[in-house]
Amino acid sequence: MNVSEQNDTVEIPELFVRKSFLVRMGSLARRQPLGVAGGILVLTIVFIAIFADQLSVYDSELIDFDSMLSAPDDAHWLGTDQFGRDLWTRLMYGARTALFIGFFCAFFGATIGLVIGVASAYFGGTVDLILQRIIDVFMAFPLIIMALALVSVFGSEIENVMLAITLPFIPDCARVVRANALQIREIPYVDAARAMGFGHTRIILRHMLPNVMAPYLIILTSNIGQAILLGASLSYLGLGVQEPTAAWGLMLQGGAEEYAESAPWVAVFPGLAIAISVFGFNLFGDAMRDILDPRLRSR
């Protein structure tokens, strides 16, 4: 057996691979402690949302008039609401609603912005002018104002609520991606691809999109927390998810005013759930920015 064949048969010990992975994770934790903390919060919320059926003892929609506004105890860890429903169970199922709205709206908003930003930068000229003026119109309205206007016009059905949350996220991603794509368009290998006769689709997919994925992923991660907060705000105002669906904003609406003194847990725990989830996604998004942005990584 020659030397090359011997090298081909060498296997890396599993212990070495495991140790190397732990070393990398330890290094990441030292460099991005807040990002790791945010990632743990996000994973915990995702775990609770996925396994809510297994973790819950009560039905999230079961009304129990004998247990109305019960304080936290052994039977109900976080107490009950004004309809006698277990708050811990409602919070777990509310995590499903929040994450579904957050991931869906952030993903489609960022992805549509990605397509618009790349197309605007690559084609330029009239295409760029028209697309950027449309983006300017969208950016003239604050997130919550635009969402409220869309829900008021189209109704508060869940698909309209998700559309109202998705649209405000498009302009920011489109602007950031366009700025990065403009720099990439001037790089010589893009001109070389055009000179070789490659079509627009191949140049965009092979050369431009991969190089703008870092800002896209950063914006996507950061927008999830904003989408959760925006969805909760609409529900709190009565324009989002409706009863009996478990939603954090709807739970906050039901207890924030009427039971603020007599049963504060009805409002405190949903508010904490919203704050913790948004905080976790923001920390994780900031860490993603520091890791993926080469200008920050080189410092």
> How many structural domains does the chain have?
1
Does residue 179 lie in a domain region? yes
Q: How many CA atoms lie within 13 A of 202 on its CB side?
A: 10
Instruction: Classify the phi-psi angles of 155: left when phi > 0, otherwise alpha if psi is within -120 to 50, otherwise beta.
Output: left
Does residue 261 lie in a domain region? yes
Does residue 8 lie in a domain region? no
Q: By residue range, what is the domain housing residue 169?
A: 40-49+69-297
Does residue 158 lie in a domain region? yes
Residues in CB range of 262: below 8 A, 6 or more apart: 69
Does residue 232 lie in a domain region? yes
Does residue 110 lie in a domain region? yes
In angstroms, rounded to a whole number, what is the distance separating the alpha carbons of residues 235 and 151?
11
pLDDT for 84-107, tens place per residue? 899 999 999 999 999 999 999 999
Walking along the chain (299 residues) 10 residues at a time, the average pLDDT comes out as 48 51 65 84 93 88 84 87 89 92 93 92 90 88 82 80 88 90 81 77 82 87 90 85 84 75 86 92 84 58
How many CB atoms are located within 10 Å of the residue 47 CB? 12
- For residue 262, the domain's CATH number is 1.10.3720.10
pLDDT for 173-188, tens place per residue? 999 999 888 888 877 7
Does residue 19 lie in a domain region? no
